A and B are shown apart, each in its own frame.
Chain A
């Protein structure tokens, strides 16, 4: 617990609040203190912690891989290069397995998705009090370290994937083809409104399921870490250690699911009929 004077409910709320930058009630620009203030800021505010951490993690991943790519030796690979090559070949294999059309963008997209989500999820394993406490010393009211427990982050990525799905649907099938796909099946042209409803739900469900699955899993995991942190100190480690070990699996699995679904959705977008 960060302080003895606050209640459990306040502690949990504090940990689940993002560092939101926006217009304060008095009209100045600043960080929201508490959920009500953050809500009052409306849409035009940003979660600085989410953006900062996800940028740092993404940049770290790209920098590392880029460094390996530039120093690529064709002889016997050593250490990091070996690991990176393994990862790249693993992604390449996954893409070849589930993506049947030809598109040079899908494999790098899958690589980025996997490692970015993986690293964001991995932040869940940092003890829950470390970073908020550090932020407290720096004068920041909140700091949520795990970007994938912020729906903005997961929906942001899902929207990116969704835009690509629509873009490639129209590019591969033409605008008419895309509209036809939405309206002419499964009941033929006389059932167009019903078809549109069904296919529309089908289409919209893709980004929503993509975002909510990741968000839900990571949020729940984080919540359990916070609840464990509320227990007396001697009861914490027998619970948090198994949960953390189990969470390593979830971290990887969710990243893999996000990547695989991204590939599958894009594959469907490239296909004439599905």
Chain B
């Protein structure tokens, strides 16, 4: 219980411990804590930025969507008017074609009628000749009476 040199030993040990603590305990731990603080602060800032980015992206996405809708609407309207136009054009074309085919058919029919008439005429002439021959009972010289016959043909 008496005071002795232990006192000095304890003081020296105390000084050494404090020095060691300052150099190899306090400094690294505080540095680590500071680093963590920075880490967390960075993380929070990053999160904040992320949130902002998200908000911006959302706005942008909405804008793009709206634009796309507008564009689609315009495209559909354009397509409709084009389709109408095409239909109109097709109608006009079809009409023209109809006219053309109709007139062609008419001409053909006329031609056919004409040809049939010709044929009929010649046949009638023959029949008339044959009839006349039978009626007259004698041979008619076709050559001698061709004038007459021609006249008949034209009459028919």
Q: Which residues of A contact B (CB under 8 A)?
A: 16-18, 20, 22, 35, 38-39, 41-47, 50-51, 54-55, 58, 62, 65-66, 68-70, 72-75, 84-85, 88-89, 92, 104-105, 107-109, 111-112, 116, 147, 150-153, 155-157, 159-160, 163
Contact = CB atoms under 8 A, between A and B. Distances in A.
Contacts of A73: 32
A105 B18 contact: yes
Contacts of B2: 38-39
Given A46-B5, A111-B21, A55 B32 contact: no
Interface in B12-59: 13-15, 17-18, 20-22, 24-33, 35-36, 39
Interface residues of B, number: 32
Majority-rule SS of B interface residues: helix
Nearest to A144: B1
B10 to A, nearest CB: 3
B1 A84 contact: no
B29 A88 contact: yes
Given A68-B29, A104-B22, A111-B26, A46 B6 contact: yes
Contacts of A16: 1
B8 interface: yes
Given A51-B13, A160-B15, A152 B25 contact: no
B29 A109 contact: no
Interface in B61-90: none
8 contacts: A46-B5, A47-B6, A65-B25, A108-B22, A108-B25, A111-B25, A116-B17, A152-B10
